[in-house]
Chains A and B, each alone.
Chain A
Amino acid sequence: MEKYNIYAAKLLPKREILSPGHRACQGCGELLAVRQVLKAIGPDVIIANATGCLEIVTSSFPDTAWTVPWIHVAFENAAAVASGIESALKVLKRKGRYPSDRDIKIVAFAGDGGTADIGMQALSGALERFHNFMYVCYDNEAYMNTGIQRSSSTPFCATTTTSPAGKKSFGQKTNKKNLPEIAVAHGIPYVATACPSYPFDLMEKATKGVNTEGPAYLHIFSPCPTGWRSLPDDSIEIGRLAIETGVFPLYEVVNGKYKMTYKPLKLKHVSEYLKKQGRFKHLTGELIEEIEKRVKENYNKLVKKCEI
């Protein structure tokens, strides 16, 4: 975080763009993330939302939690819908058929399933076409809306309803897909990771992302008490532990240049992060050490990239 000393909670905009009273679970990291993103961006925004928890809990007709223009079309196409909105505004402003006095930001919101799995193609297409928009993936590491099924963003060893731990299984067998890296590979100007446990860092990145000329990708680690089998009041702490153990490093990539935005002095052991969550409670010491090894390896790779 570059301007740490100027941030204070009381200086944040009081206006809630995502109104309270939606139907998210207690301790939902995803809604907190979206709330913070919108506080940072302000009301001059149009949102394209993928199907998922966020859409379900905020838009049950005739209620809506959205005080800004919002559209939901389907699960896998938030990036494509956002591309369309961006293209339309471009041409309509040119033709004088859309107010051009406001700098309207286009933001797509989707979960990890809607991004890493089913929405990967639409996202890749939109990034490659270089639309001027920000794509926000709120990553709670499984299909929570449909009942905690594994996605390609589910971490190694986590138990989910379709990667269950059992007598012959330790849960998810594969490594978490590295979405920020895939975004970086598209050569876009801004990629960042964030977590609502670090609200100022998150909000600064959201601000940078929407003010970037061209596509920006923001990947937000979003603790999910329901899916992670954790306590709702532990969500913020679990987010912190993910960063302090190196499980989810906070960094940004500006025009290809990597930079850690928060670097813990000494990384904690992953067990501190894992033990707060029921999805890892089946793990033995050996597997915990394997996770620790993989996490630290990935972390060190990232540190090296930041040194270039």
Chain B
Amino acid sequence: MSKRVGIEVSLSVSEAVKLANVDCIAAYPITPQTHIVEHLSEIVANGEVDAEFIPVESEHSAMSVCCGCSAAGARTYTATSSQGLALMNEIVFIVPSLRLPIVMTVADRSLSGPISIWNDHTDAMSVRDCGWIQFFVENGQEAFDAHLTAFKIAEDKRVLLPVMVHMDGFILTHMIEPIEFLEQDEVDKFLSKNYTPAIQLNPEKPVTMGAVGIPEIYTEAKKAHDVVLHESKKVIIEVWNEFAELFGRRFKPVETYKMEDAEIALLTMGSYGETAQIAIDELRKEGEKAGLIKLRLWRPFPLEEFLDTVSNVKGVGVVDRAITYGTTGGPLAIEIRNALYDVEPRKVVTDFIAGLAGRDVTINDFKYMYQKTKEAVKSGKALPYQFIGVRG
């Protein structure tokens, strides 16, 4: 049966990848992703999993090696962060087009400059449009579980898309948490250890992969990619439900907290959900009808599930962990506002850029965001986006 272990979240991710019977891992070190790949190297070195660990010379090569591994039919994993994700950006966009079910952890971190190793979602937003399935986890248990589901979703023949699991750098990666592990035989029941690829580089049945897309075919290729990404939501939910039935822990595309009668909601992605939850509790004690929406599935964007959660609210305060310079708000708020455009009656959307590069966001900060959203609802006018806890 499952056992509960106190372990650093990064190491639990490595253990999940091991339990997934990974075949190939190619990675390059970058803070705060390092503990994941260090531990995986150990696991391979100790023969705990029969896999090849390819210690490449850059993230660009990490993702390129992963392409080769996955195209040859190996269950393939990598992890990166920040500048590493930026360096491999070119290949990140090619992977889903090749329909390679690679799983990657992004230990989310700010992008230079100025150089900073601390957590926000700037790196995640730089690959917003890359066409991967992407989800955010909130705590260690979710990080462990999410990786097991990621392989199953990616490899489903109805999907065949890479999956990116976002976990906040340091805030999650370096935290020691109690995590309920799964036994190998339990995982094997959920995720086949004999992964069979849909397409494979094999002289017995030659294929041409990565052909030139002339103008007459490029748009069709892009539409097909978009369609399959949208349709993957069904499989994602199916896999998450199966995981819940087997192990009792359920993922939903959009998680909610005290939303049943909420009038004003805050919306977060990633580890901030836990702090925001405490703020909601305090606000509730103060008599406020406050609730919290936690967007777990980022791509494909779970529009219907999101709209279901907000049908009764008057305003949504979006906590953005990245900037889109020189426009109407942070990337998350722009997305949310767009999703709500056709909804009657109109919801007020406020936007708070918070916690950039590890800047602490406190319970009081969340309460402040709530109050500001409440004021905006009262006046009926959304405020321009604002930075939380900024000097000057």
User: Which positions in A face B, CB cutoff 8 Å?
Assistant: 43-46, 48-49, 55-56, 59-62, 64, 66-74, 76-77, 80-92, 94-95, 97-99, 102, 104, 121-122, 124-125, 128-129
Contact = CB atoms under 8 A, between A and B. Distances in A.
Interface string B179-219: 00000000000000011100001111011111111100100
Contact of A44 (B52, B64, B203): B203
B203 A84 contact: no
A98 B73 contact: yes
Given A88-B73, A92-B74, A60 B214 contact: yes
B212 A71 contact: no
5 contacts: A68-B206, A71-B209, A73-B68, A83-B68, A129-B56
- Kindly name the residue among B24, B55, B72, B204 whose own CB sees the greatest number of chain A CB atoms within 10 A: B72
Nearest to B26: A84
A73 B88 CA distance: 12
Given A91-B24, A91-B74, A92-B72, A84 B64 contact: yes
B389 to A, nearest CB: 40
Given A74-B64, A84-B26, A46 B201 contact: yes
B98 interface: yes
B206 A70 contact: yes
B58 A71 contact: no
A88 B23 contact: yes
B23 A125 contact: no
B203 A85 contact: no
Contact of B61 (A43, A69, A86, A121): A121
Given A68-B206, A70-B206, A83-B65, A92 B211 contact: no
B60 interface: yes
Contacts of A66: 206, 208
A2 B207 CA distance: 36
Interface in B147-199: 194-196
A71 B23 contact: no
A85 B68 contact: yes
Interface in B311-343: none
A64 to B, nearest CB: 4
B71 interface: yes
Contact of A61 (B60, B61, B74, B214): B214
Given A69-B203, A99-B202, A92 B66 contact: no
A36 B332 CA distance: 54
A46 to B, nearest CB: 5
Interface in B48-93: 50-52, 54-58, 60-61, 64-74, 76, 90-91
- Kindly name the residue among B55, B56, B196 whose own CB sees the greatest number of chain A CB atoms within 10 A: B56
B68 to A, nearest CB: 2
Nearest to A82: B68
B54 A99 contact: no
A44 B214 CA distance: 29
Given A74-B64, A81-B64, A84-B70, 18 more contacts: A44-B203, A59-B212, A62-B211, A71-B67, A73-B64, A73-B67, A80-B64, A82-B68, A84-B64, A87-B69, A88-B71, A91-B23, A97-B195, A121-B60, A121-B61, A122-B58, A125-B57, A129-B56
Nearest to B52: A87
Contact of A80 (B56, B70, B217): B56
A81 B202 CA distance: 15
Chain B contact residues (Cβ within 8 angstroms of A): what range?
Answer: 35 or more
A49 B64 CA distance: 12
Contacts of A91: 23-24, 50-52, 74
A239 to B, nearest CB: 28
A64 B67 contact: no
A123 to B, nearest CB: 10
A61 B213 contact: yes
A70 to B, nearest CB: 5
Interface in B89-119: 90-91, 94, 98
B71 A85 contact: yes
A160 B206 CA distance: 38
Contact of A81 (B23, B65, B208): B65
Contacts of A90: 52
Contacts of A85: 68-69, 71-72, 201
Contacts of A62: 211, 217
A59 B213 CA distance: 9
Nearest to A63: B211
Given A61-B212, A68-B203, A122 B60 contact: yes
B305 to A, nearest CB: 34
Contacts of A59: 208, 210-212
Contact of A77 (B60, B204, B206): B60
B204 A99 contact: yes
A55 B212 CA distance: 8
Contact of B52 (A55, A76, A88): A88
Given A80-B61, A85-B72, A88-B52, A73 B91 contact: yes
B58 to A, nearest CB: 6
A61 B68 contact: no
B64 A98 contact: no
Nearest to A65: B208
A87 B54 contact: yes
Contacts of A64: 208, 211
Contacts of A44: 203
Nearest to B221: A61
A86 B26 CA distance: 13
B343 to A, nearest CB: 41
Nearest to B209: A71
A121 B90 CA distance: 16
Contacts of A48: 68
Contact of B58 (A43, A97, A121, A129): A121
B217 A61 contact: yes
B177 to A, nearest CB: 31
A61 B211 contact: yes
Contacts of A45: 203
A71 B71 contact: yes
A88 B217 contact: no
B166 to A, nearest CB: 24
Contacts of A99: 202, 204
